[in-house]
Structure 1
């Protein structure tokens, strides 16, 4: 299993049949659809936003977090903390495009009294907006996606206000699910119309976002414990098979986000920081992620990376490049994996909020992260290695959470900003005085199309400042 086991047998059958019927018909301009059903746009939203997130994970998150870097490229780039107005434009534009469709989906669900679809819509809305506000700061929210009501220049809402509402939306979504009602508007490509799995994703996402703001509101720890201790009313992911992982089949239109797989690997070397950790662990994910390095005589020399923001213009080896088999369908695109849930619970236990064993939860997170990519849990002796042993610290939990969040949108960067871990090396070639950026810049078109609210947001930050910290970033 190159990726997550094909755990949803019935789902995959649907992907080749009933599922794609609705997907193909709606993978067009939604303005051409005369009447939108609650599920008409669901697969479009899931596929397109997940695909966009994966590409931005690779080209933004992975460069900032020293997972991969363009090589050879001696000057500039995200790996050297060069953040431009264009860096986050793809994330911004895709998010607001599909948020507009989510709004239509929620309205259609309300009109049809289709509560399961409304719950899903609220969950997807929270998922997309959390990434937007985490990465940009204040963004259009309460007035966004309402051009039909004449709001063409929506105000920018604060991060605190956005988090307050999306967490309330997720709580409402949890209460809306009705497992006695069949989802009849096509077959969704994420959970195959299993409302129980959707509900577990909703509540697992609540845990992610509550933990995200725990530095500014310690009361959320009790809210998290209440969720974990109430599986009857607020179920969460309990195993890898329940993960929110999009299976990209390669069957049109469910295609790899990389139209040319070579673009994933050509001139993209693995970061030294990332691969050195995996080397110390003798981690079985290495051959899945990267290719072997070679010396100047073309002999294999194991797995070797290039320092992010490297100062040298040449090296005495050819580094390990990213393995493009990862983006050849069938492939996976994680949205939220069970391993993340296990690491969240491990952190709660480490901090004394859960009576469960932090070490057992930590190891559970590692096992799930390994199995996601290799099909197997940790090999014999893995947890005996010094870097795999649980040492009672948050730093050790976050190090392995960092590894486990590979391929998951911007979550590695967000967790670094929340905790300060893992500790990343710097070089003199890095810009921004070697300080990891705290946010992306607003796309340039905001100055033209929404100047009043754009300027108001900049006044709070003292400019479009990449060092302005997120509301929840108190590290």
Structure 2
């Protein structure tokens, strides 16, 4: 029933967007059928959720290879540490700002004036929390970006927006998140079924908002320790995502017959199998730890299966264009899951396991009244939660056995952090942007670059580059933003919070 609703609502939306104003009335002829006054907030919000949350799982050929979980070979320039602004970066930039535009329509036009009304207050708050989620992904990926002059009402439109500093963006996101969370009211009208994630459940949105605040705060740990601690400790006081039942997760539909709404990993796999081989560092860690998720993540190599002795083998990252490989000697994603166009399982974009690993880290630091002695318990809870979600659904006995081997935190505080972040890296499979951000923030796991020099002298990229359209259309502001970075607008420059 849920899948049918997703399909139907966007079929209607597609019809709305394709309606032709066939009328003799000139005013009606020149009135857009998709103007905000004709498109309910529910439609705009559903579209933003569908396009925005599922986008966390795309970009495996770029960000997924940078965190060395996928290996796209020579078919993807970014996976070889080569910039490709005209295709990858421009499309990525444009799609993200379209998300902001849709959400801005809700507050600037559709529900304008209803900020304190039961009919608009909570809808606006949920839309704002969603927008903050997307803004964090954008600034984490690019660094300084157009922010204060983006998403403005039509009468305040800035065609050539300035690039705000990431430090200022983060402070604004935290303040805006607090304000939006305070506006959530259980008795208000909400999005109901148009909210695919929580069906308008204000209690769960409050948990997600505080969990997002926890993530915002921890991201600043090495850039602004005081603000990081303050933000983390405030988040820990609020209700958080406390189980997998609270996870921020998008339901998905079968890929057959549906133009959108299917799981991004399934869509990517079916779109190009050659871009979906597993990276050697990821497979090697799973093998070394005898991780029970491995068969649910990777397929034994085709040639080893034919020989009757199946083995898992990952492909090296950034090997260069001159390297010739036989792809049947390397593991793809699990065929029964990711190559099944009828397969569906929720796409988790903010998880209980995230909070467990953040709490383990906070405990090591003694933040929020937690103690280092509590870190191990949170660490184990994170492993357990990550193994329980689909498509893994690991048996409890196997989870217990694994934690018995891998669940003990040992060594120095930094060595314990490395253990926590390695498990978090595994848990973030299919969530490429977040895996990339957490690797840059902490430096763990310790990833070794591939051999191809690309445009980075053989270093793993630290950020995405701006789109080519910005260099031309918004040249002055682009140049000003680029000049603030140590290595200009390149893969080698670091975003503000990236201090490790």
Aligned match of 1:47:
50
Unaligned stretches of 5+ residues in structure 2: 18-32
Secondary structure in 2 matching 1:411: helix
More helix by share: 2
Counterpart among 392, 395, 405 of residue 374 in structure 1: 392
Counterpart among 115, 121, 124 of residue 118 in structure 1: 124
Q: Distance in 2 between matches of 1:209 and 1:249?
A: 31
Counterpart among 234, 238, 245 of residue 241 in structure 1: 245
More displaced 10-residue stretch of structure 1: 371-380 or 417-426: 371-380
How many matched pairs? 454
Q: Distance in 1 between matches of 2:300 and 2:196?
A: 34
Deviation at 1:145, TM superposition (A): 2.7
Q: Distance in 1 between matches of 2:37 and 2:121?
A: 22
Aligned match of 2:67:
65
Residues 158-307 of structure 1 aligned to structure 2 (within 5 Å): 158-183=165-190, 186-219=193-226, 220-228=228-236, 230=237, 234-250=238-254, 252=258, 254-257=261-264, 261-266=269-274, 268-295=276-303, 298-299=306-307, 300-307=309-316
Q: Distance in 2 between matches of 1:262 and 1:217?
A: 42
Deviation at 1:315, TM superposition (A): 6.6
Q: In the superposition, relative to structure 1, how do residues 35 and 185 fare at CA in structure 2: closer, same or farther (>3 Å)? A: farther
Secondary structure in 1 matching 2:249: strand
Deviation at 1:249, TM superposition (A): 2.4
Q: In the superposition, relative to structure 1, how do residues 36 and 339 fare at CA in structure 2: closer, same or farther (>3 Å)? A: same
Counterpart among 438, 442, 456 of residue 466 in structure 2: 442
Aligned match of 1:9:
none
Aligned match of 2:12:
25
Q: In the superposition, relative to structure 1, how do residues 23 and 176 fare at CA in structure 2: closer, same or farther (>3 Å)? A: farther
Return the index of the structure with the highest Cα Rg.
Answer: 2
Q: Is the 8 A contact 1:137 1:470 kept in 2?
A: yes
More displaced 10-residue stretch of structure 1: 238-247 or 215-224: 215-224
TM-score, normalised to structure 1, is 0.88
Aligned match of 2:30:
none
Q: Does 2:396 align with 1:389?
A: no
Aligned match of 1:106:
107
Q: Does 2:4 align with 1:16?
A: yes
Q: Distance in 1 between matches of 2:469 and 2:160?
A: 12
TM-score, normalised to structure 2, is 0.84
Aligned match of 2:147:
141
Q: Give a deviation string over 1:259-283, Cα, whole Å, max 9, x none.
A: 5753353453211100111112221
Q: Is the 8 A contact 1:417 1:473 kept in 2?
A: yes
Q: Does 2:324 align with 1:313?
A: yes
Q: Is the 8 A contact 1:291 1:323 kept in 2?
A: yes
Q: In the superposition, relative to structure 1, how do residues 283 and 184 fare at CA in structure 2: closer, same or farther (>3 Å)? A: closer
Unaligned stretches of 5+ residues in structure 1: 1-12
Deviation at 1:413, TM superposition (A): 0.9
Secondary structure in 2 matching 1:335: strand
Q: Is the 8 A contact 2:186 2:202 kept in 1?
A: yes
Counterpart among 376, 379, 388 of residue 359 in structure 1: 376
Q: Distance in 1 between matches of 2:145 and 2:41?
A: 26
Q: Distance in 2 between matches of 1:222 and 1:307?
A: 41
Secondary structure in 1 matching 2:457: helix
Secondary structure in 1 matching 2:151: coil
Q: In the superposition, relative to structure 1, how do residues 317 and 136 fare at CA in structure 2: closer, same or farther (>3 Å)? A: same
More displaced 10-residue stretch of structure 1: 102-111 or 172-181: 102-111
Aligned match of 1:6:
none
Residues 403-422 of structure 1 aligned to structure 2 (within 5 Å): 403-422=426-445
More displaced 10-residue stretch of structure 1: 133-142 or 257-266: 257-266
